[in-house]
Amino acid sequence: MQFPNIDPIAFEIGPFILRWYSLAYMVGFLFGWRYLIALAHRPALWGGQVPYNPEHVENFVPWITLGVILGGRLGYVFFYNTDYYLANPSEIFAIWQGGMSFHGGLIGVGLTTYIFTRYYKLSFISWSDLMGACAPVGLFLGRIANFINGELWGRTSDVPWAIIFPGAGDLPRHPSQLYEAGLEGLLLMLVVTTLILKYKALTKPGLISGVFIFGYGLSRFIVEFVREPDGHLGFIIGNFSMGQLLSLPLLILGLFLIGRAMRNAK
């Protein structure tokens, strides 16, 4: 199957250019902002008392924007391409050229969330649950943007839906970006939303954070088996990629948070 001819530029007006990749981030932030406000207006989901108010959400938007973009970029620089950026430091913040790391973004969001909740005297773990509730949508949009850009493709394959990506040679490959969009995005969003709405998971602080972190780590670990490793890194240990090694701590942390939340609930 040939890669669909999709222009990575959503639209342009004169010198202004908006790419699908940037649009994905914008829509993800907008959805997260509105979704968090919606949760603030449903005390029943929190057992009767919401631990924050809509004003906190408004104040948090620039914090999470900084955490995602700065953490994601620096994570990519240090986890995946340190030597190149040390030799070309002027390109470290050239985000429009691509190159973001989820693991770095998670660290960035964690740090900004900790500072924010300390400043406003809010529950760090409950606020982290909010991040876990809305993050899958951003992941879904980001992976779709990766597919549109024709980047982060999978390994060669003969499955009927394999795609010949431009710049990846003449052999068909797994559309691993779509696999990740389905697992990290749609499936994980379905799971956390069901836990929140049907099982009142927000009354168990840390449960949604744990489910999200574990779910992402597991999804990423599985998809990496069919995703082409970064050319300059290859496999790190045996047949395991950098993405898989970085996901192992997430699996452990996610299980710890889930167990802690369930013990505290009892």
Tens digit of each residue's pLDDT (9 = 90 or more) over 9-54: 888 888 888 888 889 988 998 998 899 889 888 999 998 888 888 8
- For the chain, the first-to-last Cα distance in angstroms comes to 52
**Res. 92 pLDDT band, cuts 50 70 90:** confident
pLDDT of 95 = 67
Rounded to whole angstroms, the Cα distance separating 76 from 100 reads: 5
H helix and E strand count, the chain: 9, 2
1 falls within a domain? no
For residue 42, report the phi and psi dihedrals to the nearest 5 degrees. -130, 75
56 falls within a domain? yes
| pLDDT winner (highest mean) among 3-17, 54-68, 252-266 | 252-266
pLDDT of 236 = 82
Q: 109: domain range?
A: 9-265
Q: Tell me: the pLDDT tens digits for 132-152?
A: 999 999 999 999 999 998 988
231 falls within a domain? yes
13 falls within a domain? yes
Are 154 and 227 within 8 A, CB to CB?
Answer: yes
For helices 207-223 and 102-120, give the axis angle rounded to 10 degrees. 170
227 falls within a domain? yes
4 falls within a domain? no
For residue 224, report the phi and psi dihedrals to the nearest 5 degrees. -60, -20
Count of beta carbons in the 10 Å neighbourhood of residue 186 = 15
Q: How many domains does the chain have?
A: 1
**Cα dihedral sign for 78, 7, 161, 179?**
positive
For residue 171, report the phi and psi dihedrals to the nearest 5 degrees. -95, 140
**Considering the entire predicted model, what is its pTM?**
0.90
State the amino acid at position 244 in one-letter form: Q
Rounded to whole angstroms, the Cα distance separating 146 from 36 reads: 26
State the amino acid at position 80 in one-letter form: Y
Distance of CA 129 to the CA centre of its chain: 14
